[in-house]
Structure 1
Amino acid sequence: MTTIAFQGVPGAYSDLACRRAYPGWATLPCPSFEAAMEAVRDGRARLAMLPCENSLAGRVPDIHRLLPDSGLAVVGEHFERVEHCLLARPGATLEGLRKAHSHPMALGQVLKVIKELSLTPVIQADTAGAAQMVAQSGTPEDAAIASSLAAEVYGLQVLRANVEDAPHNTTRFYVMAQRPETPPLEAPHPVTTFVFRVRNMPAALYKALGGFATNGVNMTKLESYMLDGAFTATQFLCDVDGHPEDPRLFRALEELRFFTREVKVLGTYRAHPFRVAHKES
């Protein structure tokens, strides 16, 4: 059975993303992003599903720092709609609930139902862990904000589904593997992910990105972060539409290399249908 690793415990949203993107695969829970990557490197998993950004919360901390030196390649992306459920032990009722347990980010995304039911929010390490706690040691007064998968895994009932305040709450994931799986040049909707470091000179970033504008390459992601705690050493993580063998992106990357200290392509892969649908709408 083919295995895909994720960070978290069974029933986490990353677990759900793995199952939806790769139905029939075994999922491997890992205690950290580094552990999920290590599972791929040592062969215990073929792929790793790693969240990189959320439509409400922004980028996921540490992923941008871990990717360049992971020794892995980005071979795909997945967009997972976050659908929070109000979970409780069998027999519990909405009227009897007093506490809502979950990750602080999830609690902040369900303020309406917390106010409506007059619940006291209780912070837990993660959503699936909150569901596990309610199942094992909770009372009929305790509820968890987690996924429908967590309800299945821990034997809880869904008292109310889709309790999130924002209907567009979506998390994007990078899919990582030991080796690149670059699609052919003629494949539709390619996306390329890479990192680069600008030279320490005036307008370096402006000049480095100029080639993408002049060659008509669409940049969909640009994130900066410091390296080794040095305020003068900045690295950028980018996603662009296109294939490195396409003349337009090829010329843009060549110009980028002229103004940078290092350019490292992390992977080229086909865009997820979610991205394609929103691009065409």
Structure 2
Amino acid sequence: MTTVAYQGEPGSNSATAARALFPDGGQLPCTGFEPALDAVTLGTADVAVIPVDNSAAGRVADVHHLLPESGLFIVGEYFLAIRFDLMAVPGTSLDQVECVRSHVHALGQCRKILREGGWRTLVSDDTAGSAREVAELGDPRHAALAPPAAAQLYGLEVLRAGVEDDPDNTTRFVVLSREASSPPATGEPTVTSLFFLVRNIPSALYKALGGFASNGVNLTKIESYQMGAGLNPSRFYVEVEGHPDDPGVALALQELRFFSSEVRILGVYPAHSHRLGERIG
């Protein structure tokens, strides 16, 4: 049985994604992203399911700093539609609520109902954790914004369902493993994730990325972040449509390596069907 580590508590969106990807697997809830990655590195878990970005809140910054140092590989991806319910202890009415708890990202993704209610907010470590806290308090003045599964799990009553601002709110998760699992280049939709560090010379980034344009390779994501303080060159995280063995991608990577001091392929994995739906739409 596959053991799946994730950040959060049972009933969280990460737990839902882990269950969707590995319905027969065992789950290992972790207090943070780093412990979840460490669980895989140390062999306590077989894989980790970690969120990397959200359509409303953007990237999960902590994860992008942890991935290159983890030594793990991306072997899959999953897109989860995000739903939040406003929940409280049974018998609570909306006019009794004074404070709403949730993860900071969830509070940011449910601004409309928070403005309507005029409630003060408290940040919790996790969405499902906020539901547990409300259940433990047993106080009708406190409510939680949490995934629907958390209400049943912690015995809470849903006051308002589907209160997220954006009905298309989606979080992308990646599956991380100790071993790389590169599918063959069969022409099926594939994503290649990589990190690179450009040489500290003028126009290095422009030249490093030029090979993707000249070879007709689509970049679906490019993000930068600074390594340490001072004037150190930035590290870049890139996602590419295609397989490293595809002729165009191979030539683009060759040019990238020429203008970079470090290039590391983090994963080659099948594209999730959500990407294909976006393209068709």
TM-score normalised to structure 2 length:
0.95
Q: SS in structure 1 opposite 2:134? A: helix
2:50 aligned with 1:50, yes or no?
yes
Q: Contact 1:187/1:270 (CA < 8 Å) preserved in 2? A: no
Rounded to whole Å, the distance in 2 between the matches of 1:111 and 1:246 is 44
Question: How far is 1:185 from its partner?
Answer: 0.8
Runs (5+) with no aligned partner, structure 2: none
Rounded to whole Å, the distance in 2 between the matches of 1:88 and 1:124 is 15
Q: Contact 1:130/1:144 (CA < 8 Å) preserved in 2? A: yes
Rounded to whole Å, the distance in 1 between the matches of 2:52 and 2:8 is 14
1:79 corresponds in structure 2 to: 79
Q: SS in structure 2 opposite 1:227? A: coil
2:196 aligned with 1:196, yes or no?
yes
Q: Contact 2:57/2:108 (CA < 8 Å) preserved in 1? A: no
Q: Aligned Cα RMSD in Å?
A: 1.5
Query: For 1:109-139, what per-residue CA distance to the aligned partner results, in whole angstroms no more than 9, with x for missing partners?
Result: 2222223334332332321221111001131
User: Following superposition of structure 1 onto structure 2, how do residues 31-70 of structure 1 map, counting pairs within 5 Å?
Assistant: 31-70=31-70
Letter aligned with residue 99 of structure 1: C
User: Following superposition of structure 1 onto structure 2, how do residues 239-254 of structure 1 map, counting pairs within 5 Å?
Assistant: 239-254=239-254
TM-score normalised to structure 1 length:
0.95
Query: For 1:52-103, what per-residue CA distance to the aligned partner results, in whole angstroms no more than 9, with x for missing partners?
Result: 1111111112211211121111001111111011111122223432321112
Question: How far is 1:32 from its partner?
Answer: 1.8
Rounded to whole Å, the distance in 2 between the matches of 1:79 and 1:161 is 21
2:176 corresponds in structure 1 to: 176
1:132 corresponds in structure 2 to: 132
Letter aligned with residue 7 of structure 1: Q
Rounded to whole Å, the distance in 1 between the matches of 2:118 and 2:68 is 45
2:142 aligned with 1:142, yes or no?
yes
2:147 aligned with 1:117, yes or no?
no
Question: How far is 1:50 from its partner?
Answer: 1.1
Rounded to whole Å, the distance in 2 between the matches of 1:252 and 1:53 is 25
Stretches of 4+ aligned residues off by more than 6 angstroms:
none
Rounded to whole Å, the distance in 1 between the matches of 2:122 and 2:33 is 25
1:94 corresponds in structure 2 to: 94
Question: How far is 1:166 from its partner?
Answer: 1.3
Runs (5+) with no aligned partner, structure 1: none
2:205 corresponds in structure 1 to: 205
Q: SS in structure 2 opposite 1:67? A: helix
Counting matched residue pairs gives 281
2:154 corresponds in structure 1 to: 154
